[in-house]
Structures are given as structure tokens and as C-alpha cells.
Amino acid sequence: MTVIAFLGAGSVVFTRELLADLLSFDELRGVTLALHDIDVERLETAEAIARRTAEQLGAKPVITTNLDRRAALSGASYVINSIQVGMHAATVSDFEVPARYGLRQTIGDTLGVGGIFRALRTFPVLAGIAADMREQCPDAWLLNYTNPMAMNVSYLAAIAPDLNVAGLCHSVFWTVHDLCELLGVPLDEVDYRAAGVNHQAWLLHWEHRGESLYPRLDARLAADPQLQRRVRMDMYRRLGYFPTETSEHSSEYVPWYLHHDSEVERLRIPVGDYLRISSENLAEYAAVRTAVLAGEPLDLHREATEYAPQVIHSMETGTLREIHANVANRGLITNLPEGYGVEVPCLVDRLGVHPQRVGALPPQCAAVNRSFVSVGELTVQAALTGDPRLVRQAAMVDPNTAATLTVDQIWSLCNDLTAAHGSLLPEPLRTPVTL
């Protein structure tokens, strides 16, 4: 019996989508779904959604729930990780504390001080998951969705190189989907490849029947000044390759936009947008819980399948697929640091996820990525060594933070965020640092 463990199953909207995709495959309709969350109510809601989804799709999985993570992991073949340590309250701190210093963020889950402290909250839990997997399911595949993806994959590669880990994100797929829709080109007729780091990979090849679509995008942009008023359209025009995450995300990974009022206006950047998104997620959770407990049917319509169900289906059936996934850089991208988490094309079959060598990125793309990677490398080292100065140094080299604040302000901000997150952080990193 194939056992799929869901860690953070209380992320019910995401869990609903993954379950709908999984149970739509004929070969996976009888799997065991081991749901785990640390919140009793959210776990109850996840179970109700799983049972309703199975009923609506006519599937007959075995469904178990566990507040004990080790019990959920016992005998698992696949572990889907979608935890959020600290939940909405921690997200609020990640935005409100930096805002007092005048530091603007949009999403705050990948880079910048928001990404740094989200990583530091998550690493201790990842260490626990890795230890439990070694005992309960050492051969399982850990399919990570939790952000900051690149930092989390890098940390796991450092502390648990023996585990099978792949970080999954839909940003490459939806970037190509939306660009094809913009040009009126059928997605299923397009070939594409991207590489870089998660949320800042680059669309290296994008072709329709062997012809590059970039000239058509250039013409579309030239004809529409309003379309030019988006961050990643601006980045594409200047760098020559399209970045694979939204403009909201992309704006806070570089030093060029957020600390200029004129650029925020020109490119219509929604400062603090993730606070709205996080609040809406809470409201959507409440609505879904109310609906499912009232016996209402779930909306299981899906335009596209998430990567985790595709990966599991390929490993269970031998169906060959190509996806973009996040893995440790072992000679895959030659002009990015060895060992850090990179996003590259991967083949998936019965034997697992097989990353494909990309070689060197275009030099301008690698240069932008290296600023991104430096923040993550220092953050991971802070957790591995217990040196709190590395946390401040990570913030000092972060492009957006460095473009906005003085070094004294950066250290003070890190001290304030350390106090705000307290016991969620690794114990050696919980004390303030002064010069």
C-alpha cells in the first residue's frame, strides 16, 4: 500500500487541491493518506475535506489523521511538506516590524528580512522532520512546498544529504501558462526550459514549433505601454530573459524598485501585499471549513495538476515526465554556488527525480541570482553554526534591505525581529547582537 504523508495538512485549500489531483489518477485512488497537523481543528477540517473529496471522485483511499508526526510518517513512501511555522501572527511581525524602519516588502516569504526569519523559524522543524524520516521512512521522497524554498532545500541538503528531497513550486509552469495566454499560443504546443533559483529562475527557452516566442513578446510589449508597467516585464526588457515569479515577488529580490517611490508608482507594486493574502487565506479556510462541515460539495475543478501528484504518479507507474524542481546544485548550474538549492528541469520516472544539467546561465542572470543566493547561504550558515551575527550579515547583503536601510538600522531591525519571533527561532539565535 502506497502511503502519502501530508505535513501541514491543515493548509486546507492547498490540501484540497493536492487531494483532488492525486485521487484523479486511477492508479492512486486506493492510496493511504496520512494527514498530520499540530492544530486539532485544522486536522479535523483536513480529514473532512479528504473524505469529501474521495466521495465526490468515487475514490477509496485509506485516510488516517495524527497529531503525532512520527506516526504519520511511519512507512510513508512520500512526504508532502506544506507547514507554515508561526502562521499568520508571524507573518504580521515579518511585515510590521520592518515597516517601522521604512523597509518595504511585498510577499516576504522568500528573501529579505521576511524570508530570512521565515527560514530561521522553519529550520528547526525541518531538522525534526528529517530525523523522524530517517527512523520512520528513510527511503521516502520529501516533496517540499514550504517557503523559503531555496533556503529550505539548501538547509536539508546540509543536514540530511542522505534523504530524497525535491522542492516543488508551480511558478515556472504558471509563468509559461500566462505568457502563452498573453500571446494567444496554445500551451500544449510550446516547449520551454527554465533554470536559476526558486522564484528567480529564468525562462531560457520558450518556443512554439521550434520558433522562439521572445520576439512576439517584444512586439506585444512595444505595442502596450501599460503592459510595460510590471516589474518582471521591466526586468525582462533589461536582462533579456523572463523571470519565473510574479512581479510582486520579483520586486523584493533586487535593489532597483521598492525604495523608490517613483518606481513603486510606475510599476504598480503592491507594497505589503502578503498581509492581505494571508488574511484572505484565513477567511478562505473558515469558509471551506464551514462548507465541508455543512455537507456542501467541494469545488474540485482544476485547470492544471500540481507537481506532487504528478511526481507520485510517475514514481508509482513509471510514466516519464519532465518538471521543474528544486534540488541541491551538484554541478547542475556551473556559475552558481555548489550545494545551494537551484531550480532546474528534472525527469521523473519510477526511480525518482533526476535533475538535468543546465551548465552556465547567461552571465547577467547568474549575477542577479548570486545576490539572491548569498542571502540564503548566510542564513543557512547561521542556523548550522548558531552564529547570530550571520543573520545580520545575511540582511546586510540582501539587495532590497541594503538599498533601503543603514547597517545600524539593519542590525537593530534584526534584533527587533528576533525578539518578535522568540522561541520559534533556533535557540542560539534568540539573543540580540550589539557591536
In whole angstroms, give the CA distance from residue 233 to residue 240.
10
Q: By C-alpha distance, which of 127, 182, 180 is closest to 152?
A: 127
Dihedral (Cα; 410, 413, 415, 417), 10-degree rounding:
-130
User: How many residues appear in the chain?
Assistant: 435
Quick count: other Cβ atoms within 10 Å of Cβ 304?
Answer: 13
Q: By C-alpha distance, which of 224, 271, 268 is closest to 114?
A: 271
Q: Is 199 annotated as a binding residue?
A: yes
Q: By C-alpha distance, which of 10, 18, 4, 6 is closest to 300?
A: 18
**Is residue 63 within 8 Å of 48, Cβ to Cβ?**
no
**Is residue 429 within 8 Å of 391, Cβ to Cβ?**
yes
Report the run of H or E that residue 247 belongs to, with start and end. Answer: helix 247-251
Residues with catalytic annotation? 170
**Is residue 248 within 8 Å of 270, Cβ to Cβ?**
yes
- How does DSSP classify residue 53? H
Report the run of H or E that residue 342 belongs to, with start and end. Answer: strand 341-349
In whole angstroms, give the CA distance from residue 215 to residue 289.
47
In whole angstroms, give the CA distance from residue 39 to residue 17.
20
**Before 388, cis peptide (omega within 30)?**
no
CB half-sphere exposure, 18, CA atoms < 13 A: 30
In whole angstroms, give the CA distance from residue 236 to residue 202.
9
142, three cell numbers: 520529501
Q: Is 147 annotated as a binding residue?
A: yes
Q: Is 88 annotated as a binding residue?
A: no
227, three cell numbers: 503592459
Using CB atoms within 10 Å of the CB of residue 42, give its burial: 0 to 12 exposed, 13 to 18 middle, 19+ buried. buried
Across the chain, how many H-helices and E-strands are there? 17, 13
**Is residue 401 within 8 Å of 113, Cβ to Cβ?**
yes
Q: What angle do CA 194, 200, 202 make, to 5 degrees?
A: 30
Q: Give the residue numbers of the binding site for Mn(2+).
A: 169, 199
Indicate the annotated binding residues: 147, 169, 199
